[in-house]
Structure 1
Amino acid sequence: MAMIAGNIGMMDAAYFVGRNEILTWINATLQLSLSRIEEAASGAVQCQMMDMTHPGVVPMHKVNFDAKTEYDMIQNYKVLQEVFNKLKIEKHLEVNRLVKGRPLDNLEFLQWLKRYCDSINGGIMNENYNPVERRCRGGKERNSKGSHKATKSLHVNNVTNFGASDGAGSNKISGPKQGKIGGAMSDGVHSASNIQALTDKITGLTLSVEHLEKERDFYFAKLRDIEILCQNPELENLPAAAAIKKILYAADAKESALSEAQELLGSVNDADKTEVEADT
């Protein structure tokens, strides 16, 4: 397992997975409804992902899903670090950055985590794993009193409402009230149509994002193949391979490295011509 984690380098395709795909993966796997990467900054999500991947290794009763302060978040990461130590996973946790809720730092860690989870058993989730039950089991004792109070309050409200509706003439609806109800129904129809329109729009945008991510992954795979080819011992010292790597490893995205690559090839060609002329 340590070897698998160690093979996930910064040029791995894992770090090109978009935040929407990461959020979809988390929400679908753990039955959550996160809308932003920063919502996973507490470390609880990461702990449960490891609990799903390696059942029984994570002490879920120590994981605080309600962590809001940095202190509570750090406790979650301590649990996660202990799990990594048990599994001999050599992964450094930038806890100070993660608990700040920085989107990029948390995205990179979740990208790594997804790649790791996918590498275990082919990413196949245990069918018997119940994420909601596992979360509730950890906080069951902590939340038991609050649940009791909520149930009691709900019971009182139900009794009050029943008593109010049991009075004489309480089921009669006056004319003005009927008009208000009709207007509310009309507003409800409009709201439903607006929700449907927005849902269709979101679906269309999601499909567009998925298409773009697949296209990005396709071209990244091509570039990775070229990089591996250029690193071949028989080719890496050739001028053409050096020129190609000049383009691949260009750091400035605003300027093309093509001119530098062409100059490199030109200088090599000129040197070859000079050497040939000297030999003749």
Structure 2
Amino acid sequence: MNASRTDLLAWLNELLQINYTKVEQCGTGGAYCQILDSIYGDVPMTRVKMNAKHEYEFVANYKVMQNVFKAKKIDKPIPVERLVKCKMQDNLEFLQWIKRFWDSNYGGQGYDAVGRRKGAPMEPPATVAPLAAGGTRAGSGLGVGGGRAGGRTPIGGHRSGSAQPNEAVQQLQGQVKELSTHLEGLEKERDFYFEKLRDIEILVQQQQETLEADGKDDHTLREIQKILYSTEEGFEVPDPALGAAVDEEETF
């Protein structure tokens, strides 16, 4: 039988000596890696970013986890693309699985979670996903399922009401700061992958030029170039001739 969110968070926080308040926060991958470390004791925790804030850092954590799965011959696909989005349902299902795996494989030995991560501070990672649903609300520690509670009218007259504008401003400022941080991470991630693609493009071009000079061709390289230069619908490079025709039609 699958454990509830409350039970899972209580177990996770006790095992790892952390203070997660949402299952979504597991999407950073750090907690999953350390759960495995509590079982095997040999996960390279120095490579795990427990305070990861950006998606490319989440992906790096999952690469560590995939290596552990491969080394330990754990036959379980890791849905990285879904988990890194920090959505509740995807991470709840995976956390339920990993809890069952832990129950079956943990030997009962003591585990120094803080020592294994070298005493690195473990502030709960912020997740952007809850903001789309209205963000955190005053008086809601978990921020889960608080849609109705957040709409209640506080009791206490004008005195409590007078504090609401300041609280609302602080919440909005917090959301703006969090989104700005997330945007910065996305830009770094974009540049990171663009540089990789650019390096591949240069290598392919150089190899193509070498082959053409020898009168040869390579189908695989041409297919790689097709992928690199392909465009999605709505993002095609405009045809110069077509653009000139449109300009002539719009000239009065």
TM, length-normalised to structure 2: 0.46
More helix by share: 1
Q: Which has the higher contact order (CA 8 A, sep 6+)?
A: 2
TM, length-normalised to structure 1: 0.42
